[in-house]
Amino acid sequence: MPDSAPTSSSRPPAAPPVAERRPVSRELHGTTRTDDYEWLREKDSPEVLAHLEAENAWTEQATAHLADLRATLFEETKARTKETDLSVPTRNRGWWFYGRTFEGKEYGASCRVPVTDPDDWTPPVPDAEARVDEPALPGEEVLLDLNELAEGHEFFSLGGSALSLDDALLAYAVDTAGDERYTVRVKRLAGGSLLDDVVEGVLGGVTWHPDNQSFFYTTVDDAWRSDKVWRHRLGTAQSDDELVLHETDARYWVAVGRSRDDRWLFTVSGSKTTTEWSILDTTDPEAELTVFHPRTDGLEYHLEPAVIAGAPVFLVLHNGSGPDFELAVSPPAPATPAQWSPLVPHDASVRLEDVDAFATHLVLHQRSEGLTQLRILPLDADGVGEGHLVEFDRGVYTIGSGSNPEFGQPTVRLGYTSLAVPSSVYDYDVRTRELTLLRRTPVLGGFDVEDYEEHRIWATARDGEQVPVSLVCRKGAREAGQPLPTLLYGYGAYEASIDPYFSVPRLSLLDRGAAFAIAHVRGGGEMGRRWYDQGKLEHKPNTFNDFVDVARHLVETGWSSPETLVAEGGSAGGLLMGAVVNQAPELFGGVVANVPFVDSLTTMLDATLPLTIGEYEEWGNPEADPEVYALMASYAPYDNVAAVDYPPILAETSLNDTRVLYVEPAKWIAKLRATAVGRRDFLLRTEMSAGHGGVSGRYKAWHDRAFSLAWILDRMGLATSS
């Protein structure tokens, strides 16, 4: 893959593209808003495509001096990565399942072998050095070879795969455009032939019915909202599929799933603030989907079937008793909150996030003081025993439950990582409380965890709130007392937590003397539900203020300097980037905005665009509410571009993105070029065959990240460091 998008001409451009101003105005709430670049929204226009190609050509020329560094960074990532590798096998329905990757191949393969000893839960150890044409374990069966499926496609994504309960059929969903509209095919495991069934326009994967002759799937409406659940019967046309659920409220999305014990089927309708579950007992041939508890505005709940003291029940994780959720027990039938008996009461210092039920224990996913936790609640003949946490020694880390598909398993598969510790897989024996490390992602080339130091820093925001910051650098990097070039990452929306995580490409940054930090700003969920509530709707400016205040704290405490502090964020984090660079351009030596939601006011004013209506509970409805309009107009990055000296900005987007349309960064860069003063060093890079997640394939992704990292290192003054 080339280091940047192809150009439409071999002649290098003499200057950055200048988009023509074609003003259109709209009056709303007593104000007039003029937009000079809305014409760039015409995706199929040859003129628009030519402009994007011209931007790519300019970006290629402006970064040509970094070509050797990009190549070096790519090779460093490749050299540190064990290219022929495999995952730890996971046990399910008499098989051990695992994934394989192969040197020189963009994608992996999913495989399985039979369980030979039903009483032994110790996963087999495959041969990690096995060639592509050799089995990693005796009796290996390749379920899907993604390289074969991706052949002939510039973009490829697997939406999901699912085995029928009788182990005869495998349904899988693929996207070859990047628009997240998947096509489902069904494969016979005996012989590998494909059924004639083709189901198109699916969102993600499928859920099999226990009859093994039908499966459920969801589709989206024109606004890219999952609004329908369908049932497809094998051997019939998609046009004959049964509509199981149609959610007509535009604020809600739908989903479908099956319980771990395979007894229950669920459909869920949910908005940002409210959920409604329907249940179907598949052991009753006469049963129909029944609403468990009707939607009540502001009430969120999640169901998990369990067996406690020999009695089947539903665990209900809900916020009816407080914003940080409570775990309750309900009869295994439609029930009201009055029938939900508290098991783990609401605690304002502990955010309960999820629960998994097994035959002998419950696993409660929670967070406290900005860190993730797993709480184990043992089950016995008398009910639920006293819980305990699975503990690790490091002060900054992320822990989460891994793949645990078997209801009767006595162990908990979990994942652990930090900014310095590669992703690690453990089995936790609930009976003995023994924690066994099964695998730590190998990092080649002499990597040593002890060469790096991690810190949890607290920055004081302008309103007095303490904002956590996770930071990693080479050990002893600050011994000279000099500020470190720092990459500061942020997101801050949807209660999504950016917990500490390990990255192989990031090592190329750290080993050149830079630091990496995550600002856990409000709008995310790191500090509980209040952290989210204080960073959305009318409180959204807190997100931007927090990030700026974290940046100032890093500068004032000597961690970094404005000249070498680079900010990065994507999607809603791209909105964050646009807002903070408008607020404090002097604080940053560069900004990377990936698929950035920078034209947020325009998007939220157009209910026909993908996802807009469902986003009203996150951002507000500026069309209907003048106060929301005024607030969004005050922070929307595109609307607030000013005649100031901005730092260099790299905006990266994808032509087929259905979540944040390419036009947002395209308009933003055009306006920055026309309005800013001083350096005006702005680049737009558009992947012409990708979606919201960027390019597909690991080597392509490494090239893509090498491009961004080279630009970041250049901004830090480290582009010549080896």
Measured over the CA atoms of residue 654, residue 655, residue 660 and residue 662, the dihedral's sign is positive
The one catalytic residue in 692, 696, 703, 714 is: 692
- The alpha carbon of 604 is separated from its chain's Cα centroid by a whole number of angstroms, namely 22
Residue 299: which H helix or E strand, with range? none
Tokens of 183: 């096509």
Contact 213, 186 (CB under 8 A): no
Domains and CATH numbers, the chain: 47-79+446-599+636-716 (3.40.50.1820), 86-145 (no CATH)
Please give the DSSP secondary-structure letter assigned to residue 388. Answer: E
Decide the pairing of beta strands 95-101 and 590-594. unpaired
* Sheet (strand 424-429) strand order: 398-401, 411-417, 424-429, 434-440
Measured over the CA atoms of residue 602, residue 606, residue 611 and residue 613, the dihedral's sign is positive
Show Cβ contacts of residue 11 under 8 Å, excluding neighbours closer than 6 positions. none
Contact 59, 66 (CB under 8 A): no
SS (H, E, C) 31-69: EEEEECCHHHHCCCCHHHHHHHHHHHHHHHHHCHHHHHH
Closest by alpha carbon to 641, among 592, 604, 680?
680
Please give the DSSP secondary-structure letter assigned to residue 572. Answer: H
Closest by alpha carbon to 596, among 639, 649, 652?
652
- The alpha carbon of 447 is separated from its chain's Cα centroid by a whole number of angstroms, namely 27
Active site annotation includes 560: no
Show Cβ contacts of residue 65 under 8 Å, excluding neighbours closer than 6 positions. none
Show Cβ contacts of residue 338 under 8 Å, excluding neighbours closer than 6 positions. none
Q: What is the pLDDT of residue 481?
A: 79
Beta bridge partners of 33: 26
The one catalytic residue in 657, 696, 703, 704 is: 657
Closest by alpha carbon to 651, among 551, 579, 569?
569
Residues listed for the chain: 722
Where does residue 658 fall: left (phi above 0), alpha (psi -120 to 50 degrees), or beta otherwise?
alpha
Active site annotation includes 692: yes
Tokens of 2: 């080339």
pLDDT tens readout for residues 393-417: 888 999 999 889 999 999 999 999 9
Show Cβ contacts of residue 84 under 8 Å, excluding neighbours closer than 6 positions. 101, 102, 103, 128, 129, 130, 131, 132
Q: What is the pTM of this model?
A: 0.92
Q: What is the pLDDT of residue 1?
A: 30
Tokens of 445: 């080339």
Closest by alpha carbon to 647, among 702, 601, 578, 710?
578
Q: Which residues of the chain have pLDDT under 70?
A: 1-11, 690-696, 721-722
Token look-up 């998994």 returns 356
Residue 518: which H helix or E strand, with range? strand 515-519
Active site annotation includes 427: no
SS (H, E, C) 160-215: EEEECCCCCEEEEEEECCCCCCEEEEEEECCCCCEEEEEEEEECCCCEECCCCCEE
The one catalytic residue in 269, 571, 600, 654 is: 571
Contact 594, 649 (CB under 8 A): no
The Cα–Cα gap between 565 and 556 comes to 12
CB atoms within 10 A of CB 540: 26
Backbone angles phi, psi at 586, to 5 degrees: -75, -10
Contact 286, 271 (CB under 8 A): no
Show Cβ contacts of residue 314 under 8 Å, excluding neighbours closer than 6 positions. 292, 303, 304, 305, 306, 329, 330, 331, 332, 335
Show Cβ contacts of residue 181 under 8 Å, excluding neighbours closer than 6 positions. 175, 200, 201, 202, 203, 220
The Cα–Cα gap between 241 and 218 comes to 12
Helices (H) then strands (E): counts for the chain: 12, 40
Tokens of 576: 């964050």
Q: What letter represents residue 334's amino acid?
A: P
Backbone angles phi, psi at 262, to 5 degrees: 70, 5
